Amino acid sequence: MKDLIKLRILFPAHLAMTLALVPIFGVLRYFTLLPLNPNLTFQFMEGAWNWAVPLLLVGVVYIFYYRHRINGIQFKRNQDRAQDGLTMVSLFTGWIMLLLTGGYVEQRFGKLVELEFPSHLTLEPKANFYTIDSYEIPQNWGAMNSKWYTSGKYNSTLHFELLFASPFLNTTYEMLPEAPQVWYGVKFKDSMSNRKSDEEKEKYFEAFKEQCLKKMENWDFKQALYFKNVPKSEDFFLYNQAIANRINVNSENQFIILEAVMEPFADRVKDKALWIFLTWLIGTAIFLLILHYGKPRKGFLENYPQLRSRYRSWQDEVWDKFSFWKNGPVSTAFLWILAILTFLMACSGVLGGYLDHPFLGDWGALRRVEVNHGDWYRLFSYGLLSTGPFLGLLNLGIFGYIAGEMEKKIGPLGFMLLSVSALFFGALVSLYVHPMYWVAGASPWVLGLISGYFLNGIDSKTLTITNLKPWILIAYVGLSFVLGFFDRMDHAANLGGLSGGFLGYYLFKSFQKRQDYPF
């Protein structure tokens, strides 16, 4: 009987985090397969579909459903650790299933287009896969790029990747264009222990490079049974970078890269659908094994609505910051905008955290040339953007930490005046100091709010050094100053935002005094 109650408490949440998400993610992935256009800035990176979107979906289920149900299961020993173990099993199972689902949908429903010559590719609608009846590849002519990265515990393994690209020609008699549009891509991989010395790593890589170059000299370019169109991904950017350097042009990621597939097109799906189900069976078996050692909390199902609101954690405190019912409408709306844009920009390839990223202009970043051409909205839109997930989450966290409180203290109009002043003066100073530099990020805005927070605290005599919040804000100001030396934040914009916050607050106080003393 107790086992049945335990299943009634938590098994629906496990199903919601695993099986229920498969059709949702499958349909979402299906409608994003085509049109396939790697040049589109707002298209998600391949890594986003493998990591960010699946984790977002399972995270939503956890926040709104799973974490409340897990409190209905008790354990005699290591209560928190056992509950975390159950949660991780469900979460990891759901993520692996979505990862396999994405691969299945792409392979099963990806569009195959048959071409007579490679030049016809630019005339056809974008597709995932291609067959080309007749083509030629110039021998020993192409571009090369490399990538190094680490993996494993303590970054114990060093990986090498070499990417080669050669242009497609229609016939052997065709002259090589100045900037061929369609390229044949080949990738090689190898790895070694990362504990070796730098000299040994360099020697190993050079030997690997020589080996790959010899393979490319005798590469059979006609062995491909069909080609996969490389989607927007790190490999896609590396290929384009190599091609642009080889032919000395600014690629703007315009080249089409096709990688050869040596297996028959009919075998592309294989057992992916079966592995989705087997993953669920294995994950569920582990879940039930751990659940067996727990016991149901007495009266949990009968009093679930009341108990759900009683058990609060740090996740509830974070979620409260996004609630329109518990915070000011203006600051909460901007918090949602910052969170959504941070996620979308990271998924679209704005990852490094560096200023002057080439994609920033498409999102509304600030630069003098665009402002001179009439894009005045950039004087404010740059503050809603993110240059990478780390800085985006940092600014988002401090904004949520202070914005709601400031709106309650000075009202929605005062908050808007403070925000507009910080963003405007941050933009003016940045345009003067860095006229040809893309600038984006919420740090000038946040620093302006911090200025207002301290001035308000001094005016109302509520600012005390024994309170933790001022020290957290001071630490953020110091971190912003340090990151500016690494091109992660713009000192000029931050200084302007800080000054704009001071000015905006004094304008607010002046307006407030006029309202109190109209004569």
Spatial separation of the C-alpha atoms in residues 233 and 72, rounded to whole Å: 42
Q: In the chain, what percentage of residues exceed pLDDT 70? A: 96
Q: What is the DSSP string of 35-76?
A: S--TT-TTSPPHHIIIIIHHHHHHHHHIIIIIHHHGGGEE-S
Which of 363, 359, 389 shows the shortest CA–CA distance to 375? 363
Residue 41, pLDDT above cutoff 60: no
Task: Tell me the pLDDT of the chain averaged across its residues.
Answer: 89
Count CB atoms within 10 A of the CB of residue 220: 8
Categorize the per-residue pLDDT at 55 as very low, low, confident or very high, splitting at 50, 70 and 90: very high
One-letter amino acid for residue 263 of the chain: E
The residues, ordered by sequence, that sit 6+ positions from 59 with a Cβ below 8 Å of its Cβ are none
Residues 428-457 have pLDDT tens digits of 999 999 888 889 999 999 999 999 999 999
Residues 127-142 have pLDDT tens digits of 889 999 999 999 888 9
The SS3 call for residue 112 is strand
Average pLDDT on 332-357 reads 88
What is the predicted pLDDT for the residue at 59? 94
The bridge status of strand 73-74 relative to strand 112-115 is unpaired
Categorize the per-residue pLDDT at 205 as very low, low, confident or very high, splitting at 50, 70 and 90: very high
Specify the residue for token string 């974008």.
126
The SS3 call for residue 432 is helix
Residue 395, pLDDT above cutoff 50: yes
pTM, two decimals, is 0.85
**Residue ranges, CATH 1.20.1540.10, the chain:** 330-518
One-letter amino acid for residue 82 of the chain: A
Residue 518, pLDDT above cutoff 60: no
The SS3 call for residue 209 is helix
Spatial separation of the C-alpha atoms in residues 163 and 185, rounded to whole Å: 7
Three-class SS of 233-267: CHHHHHHHHHHHHHHCCCCCCCCEEEEEECCCHHH
- Beta carbons of 421 and 500 less than 8 angstroms apart: yes
For the chain, the distance separating the N- and C-terminal CA atoms, rounded to the nearest angstrom, is: 77
Q: In the chain, what percentage of residues exceed pLDDT 90? A: 61
Q: Between 250 and 334, whose confidence is greater?
A: 334
The bridge status of strand 143-151 relative to strand 157-167 is antiparallel
From residue 418, how far is each of 151, 392, 406, 456, 507 by CA, in Å?
Answer: 45, 21, 10, 12, 9
Quick one: CATH architecture of 330-518? Up-down Bundle (1.20)
How far out from the chain centre does Cα 259 lie? 25
Average pLDDT on 300-311 reads 74
- Beta carbons of 197 and 235 less than 8 angstroms apart: no
Residues 362-391 have pLDDT tens digits of 899 999 999 999 999 999 999 999 999 999
Categorize the per-residue pLDDT at 122 as very low, low, confident or very high, splitting at 50, 70 and 90: confident
The bridge status of strand 129-132 relative to strand 226-229 is antiparallel
Spatial separation of the C-alpha atoms in residues 396 and 335, rounded to whole Å: 7
What is the predicted pLDDT for the residue at 435? 85
The bridge status of strand 143-151 relative to strand 182-193 is unpaired
Q: What is the DSSP string of 321-348?
A: TT-TTTS-HHHHHHHHHHHHHHHHHHHT
One-letter amino acid for residue 459 of the chain: D
Average pLDDT on 281-302 reads 90
Residues 225-249 have pLDDT tens digits of 999 999 888 899 899 999 999 998 8
One-letter amino acid for residue 17 of the chain: M
What is the predicted pLDDT for the residue at 452? 94
Average pLDDT on 316-327 reads 86
Spatial separation of the C-alpha atoms in residues 349 and 38, rounded to whole Å: 11
The residues, ordered by sequence, that sit 6+ positions from 186 with a Cβ below 8 Å of its Cβ are 163, 164, 165, 166, 216, 219, 259, 260
